[in-house]
Structure 1
Amino acid sequence: MPSLPLALTQGDPAGIGLELSLRAWHERQERALPVFACLANPDQLARTADRLGWPIPIRECGWEEAASVFSEALPVIPLAQAVDVAPGKPDPASAAATIASIDLAVAAVQDRQAGAVVTNPIAKSVLYAAGFKHPGHTEYLAHLAGKAGIEPLPVMMLWCEELAVVPVTIHVPLQRVPSLLTTQLIVDTARIVATGLRRQFGIASPRLAIAGLNPHAGENGTMGREDEEIVKPAIALLQAEGIDARGPYPADTMFHARARAGYDAALAMYHDQALIPIKTIAFDEGVNVTLGLPFIRTSPDHGTAFDIAGKGIARPDSLCAALKLAARMAARQDAAR
């Protein structure tokens, strides 16, 4: 486990993030969770616990105190912004606190006060209504990580013990995927994945399986030319660099157990090609990992769930998995330094 606590953001306070944070701390021993501190408004956290009838102690503290506090109370690094929203009723007035929580978490990791960032879910529409200018959570983290105006390329990897999968194109309409997919994008993504697997997962020679875009990986060009003209050249370039990249493989035969044993991560060409298999295998325990940043970031693989917020029924499995994976990655990275 890392010697530094993990920085857990509040997410949208009208969603399930606060109650998941409370439940994670409450179940910290049975789930063998690493030390974490919440960056949140303490009063809002206390109101959430009271509303749910959970007698969970909350203690404001600094980063240097979080580890000693953790055994007795949920450590909270307080936000300056007041937050008072009802569960399930998102309010753009809370956007400043949501963003501040992210800012402080990244700053803590950059200052070596925290070992990794774990983010609770946000609602982009709520932030947009308050004037947020970035496409999403991950892009904002890349912006915070940038130096001299140069932002890193963030790569989203969905992870569970049985599968790690990366969508090369992400939140775009399906009809736009062929025009956005380039040999260079595949190469850049695969390089970042291979580096992340080596540095943060301890895999000395990562094996990457590359999916084809079209059915049957194009079947030698008879079902579309993209796999011949875009995907295959990318694999050849990666192999020339010494990266163990294979494919393109038909996506419909890549994700059964025997196939998964042959690679360490799969690269899919679009969102659903990647997310359907992992959500089938690990719907409650999947973790969203961002590779390519100069710090570790994980997140639950679900959204704000406004429809069940405040009911105390949201499962903390994915958040707990995200906390444990962040700790493993931080320990591995520290050991490699």
Structure 2
Amino acid sequence: MPEGDTVWRQARNLHRALTGRTVHHTSFRFPDSAEIDLAGETIHGAFARGKHLFIRIGSMSVHSHLKMEGIWHVYGTDGTGKPARWKRRTTEARAVIKANARLDSSGVIRDGSSPVEAVGFNLGMLDVVPTEHEERFVSHLGPDILGADWNLAQAVENIRKRPERMIGPALLDQKNLAGIGTIYRAETLFLAGVDPRSTVAAVPDLPRVVEIASLLLNANRARPLRVTRTVAEPLWVYGRRRQNCYRCTSPIVREELSDQGTGGERFGITPHRLAQENDIARLSYRCPTCQVLFRE
């Protein structure tokens, strides 16, 4: 699933490409929004809130969540002045926003400006609502690591409300803090030296853990390649099952983790069957040597 930095970049790209333009045509391929047409409205901008993305058009907001495979593309024109060809199949498009070229104050097309279209492919959620109703989609979220409302102390306080919980699931809970996914969870806890199965109450320096997550997301939000280590070897533990730890050479462990424990603890099953578990659990990676299991 795309993490907070991915959604932030897509929102930034949409904001740069669309803001100030007038909509020529829209097509929303979700039942509740299928008949809505925002043609003639002005695009005010786009922004991310955690893993949610909003595009404000006229008095309405287009809300989307990428879920597992969603992505927004922006297309201009080709060398002949015709709309550029999409890089994905038309059957994958869930939202299309076509916008006119930008105009100057006198209504003349600006030099170099041409029509664009923003296309949302494989979006997990799509809603078109009055802008004043945006909050209903994000009111449950904790502080957004990449947002103007970021508050480290509040995020820590939220996590500590359930001291018996494992830190791994707690970091993924968007009600605690918004933006972290499985990749940043794995990398954050490795750099903090904390086993994801540690209980919240036992983690010796929880503010430092949250601060590391914030530093990683902010460092990567404008990068096309997510890096927590080096460009050649970008990630410390995520996706490196059974490979040697870069620090101690111990094989990296992968397991599915939820509030009920690891796959084996919950179901009494062997590692090769973990992929069959329900989607409540999420993949977790750790070094069994560098990361300490803290329990009270």
TM superposition score category, shorter chain reference = under 0.3
TM-score, with structure 2 as normaliser: 0.26
Larger strand share, 1 or 2:
2
TM-score, with structure 1 as normaliser: 0.24
Larger helix share, 1 or 2:
1
Larger Rg: 2
Larger relative contact order (CA 8 Å, sep ≥ 6): 1
